[in-house]
Each structure stands twice: as C-alpha cells, then as structure tokens.
Amino acid sequence: MNTLDAIKARHSTRAFSDKQISAEDLQTILYAGGQAAVGGGDFKSMKLIAVQDPEVLKAIDEASAKRRPGSHPLYGAPTLVVLASKQSILPNIEFTNAGCVLENVLLAATDLGIDSIYLWMTMYGINDEPALMERLGFPEGFTCIGTVALGYADREFKKPKADEMRIEVSCI
Ligand SMILES: Cc1cc2nc3c(=O)[nH]c(=O)nc-3n(C[C@H](O)[C@H](O)[C@H](O)COP(=O)(O)O)c2cc1C
C-alpha cells in the first residue's frame, strides 16, 4: 500500500475481535511511531508502550469508563499503544508531537491491514490512576498524552464522508 492509499483507507474502528496482532506487525508499527517528526528532535521526552496484557487493558478500560459509566472506551481492542511524555525542551509542543507519532502508528497499522482508533478517553483513565501509570512503567515526570488501539474489527466500519474533502481548504 502506498502512503496516500493508507491515508485514504485509515478509519476509526469501535468494536474489535479478540484476534491479536502479530509480534512482527507490532514492532513495525512501533518503529513507524518512532520515525515521526518530533519538535526539536526531543525524542527522549517521549516513551511508547505497547499494552497487550488483558488485565492491564481491563484496568485501563475500567479507569477510562469512570468518566462515562457503562462505556468501554477501549472497544475491546487487544492492543493499546500508549504514548507517555514529559515536558519537552520546547514547551507546549508535546501534544503536537503526539499527533505526529500516533498518526504514524495509525497509518502503519492501516498499511498492515490492522484496524485502529486514536483514543483520548483512555488518556484520562491512565492519568487519573497513579498505580496504572506505575504499572505501565512511566518514567518519573511522564504522563500519558495519547493512545491508539489496534486489532481487527469485529464488524465493518466506514470512514465518515470518505469521498469528501472533510476540512475546509482555501488556496491563496
Ligand atoms: C486526538 C484524537 C482523539 C480521539 N479520541 C477518541 C476517543 O476517545 N474515542 C473515540 O471513539 N474516538 C476518538 N477519536 C476518533 C475520532 O472521533 C475520529 O477520528 C473522527 O470521528 C473521524 O473518523 P475517522 O477516524 O473514521 O476518519 C479521536 C481522534 C483523535 C484524532
């Protein structure tokens, strides 16, 4: 798949089957995340953590659901890529860096035929629970700044308005 095809094909999945992604694909996806553009080249300000332990995933799902009782913010995904960060050498650039890293993760997954979704709710869930941050191995001073769930959809999801230009554009 070329890059533009992956950009076109990527879409959010909100119900995953139990089927796990392969270890090889996971390494390729994490590598892609680590190749992202990062402000000031401050790669040391971030850490990517792949979570596949069912108990830890359940704990993240439950912690994240506290803000929306009855929900399953992880959508049953068998893998969650967690991006942790401390303050960068360029203050306030952290979430922009996260977007770059995690978009690479999403596009690499799409290229490999793996379904995905960028998740924000899980960030609250993790950061609300210091014990969870410790279990995830966050270095001192790091917090979660974004996550991506990976796996295989258990039903078909369509990209909303895939044939339209979704963001207003002007050229001057
Ligand atoms: C930074 C960010 C955070 C998001 N957080 C969530 C989330 O917590 N839960 C969710 O269901 N979707 C989340 N999404 C997915 C968006 O809702 C989705 O990308 C958007 O509706 C466009 O659909 P598409 O991804 O299928 O193109 C998030 C997307 C981004 C970029």
- Domain ranges (residues) in the chain: 3-151
Domain covering 3-151 in this structure, CATH number: 3.40.109.10
At 143-161, the pLDDT tens digits run 999 999 999 999 999 998 9
Sheet strands side by side (includes 79-85): 46-51, 79-85, 143-151, 115-119
Ligand 1 atom at minimum distance from 75 CA: 11
CA dist 50 and 89 (Å) reads 25
- What band does 110 get if pLDDT is binned at 50, 70 and 90? very high
Confidence category of residue 126, pLDDT binned at 50, 70, 90: very high
For residue 160 and ligand 1, the question of a CB distance below 6 A is answered with yes
At 162 the pLDDT is 87
Atom 19 (ligand 1) nearest CA: 12
Distance CA 82, CA 104 (A): 13
Q: Is the pLDDT of residue 105 over 90?
A: yes
Phi, psi of 118, rounded to the nearest 5 degrees: -75, 130
120 lines ligand 1 (CB under 6 A): yes
Polymer length in residues for the chain: 172
- Counting atoms of ligand 1 from 1, which one is nearest the CA of 122? 8
Ligand 1 contacts CB of residue 11 (under 6 A): yes
Q: Is the pTM of this model over 0.75?
A: yes
**Helices of type H across the chain:** 3-9, 23-34, 54-65, 94-111, 121-127, 130-135
**Ligand 1 center to residue 156 CA distance, Å?**
16
Mean pLDDT of the chain: 96
**Mean per-residue pLDDT, 7-31:** 98
Q: How much is the pLDDT for 163? A: 87
| pLDDT, tens only, 127-143 | 999 999 999 999 999 99
Residues 162 and 11 sit within 8 Å (Cβ to Cβ): yes
φ, ψ of residue 51 in degrees (nearest 5): -110, 120
Q: Which of 116, 119, 144, 156 to probe ligand 1 with, by most ligand atoms within 8 A of CB? A: 119
CB of 96 within 6 A of ligand 1: the answer is no
Q: Is the pLDDT of residue 27 over 90?
A: yes
Ligand 1: distance of its center to the CA of 118 in Å?
5
Q: Residue 1: its pLDDT value, please?
A: 83
Query: How many angstroms is it from 120 CA to the middle of ligand 1?
Result: 8
Distances (CA, A) of 85 to 22, 36, 127, 146, 151: 26, 15, 12, 9, 24
**Stretch 81-108: mean pLDDT, rounded?**
97
Lookup result for tokens 């390494």: 27
Residues 6 or more apart whose Cβ sits within 8 Å of residue 118:
12, 102, 106, 146, 147, 148
